[in-house]
Amino acid sequence: MKMPDIKTKAEKLGITPGNMKKTQLIHRIQVAEGNKPCYGTSKGKCPYTDCCFMSDCLVIK
């Protein structure tokens, strides 16, 4: 997901993105949605198949 899309999603959740880095912003979104802030920690495996950030997350090593 591209940063403009992430910022839009954050703003819909009442989060002000400001100058947050992508990972930090996604973690804030995950918490706001009631999920574990796990973006970037999957090491290629993730049980959260309904996460909209999964495809990006799985490629981070």
What pLDDT score does 20 carry?
95
Locate tokens 């940063």: which residue?
3
Burial class of 26 by CB neighbour count within 10 A (0 to 12, 13 to 18, 19+): buried
pLDDT at 59: 86
pLDDT averaged per 10 residues, the chain (length 61): 95 96 96 93 86 89 64
- Looking at the structure of the chain, the number of domains it has is 1
Residue 55 class from Cβ within 10 Å (0-12 exposed, 13-18 middle, 19+ buried)? exposed
16 CB-near residues (< 8 Å, 6+ apart): 10
Nearest to 39 by CA among 11, 10, 12: 10
Domain of residue 41: give its range.
3-58
pTM, full prediction: 0.90
**What was the pLDDT predicted at 3?**
95
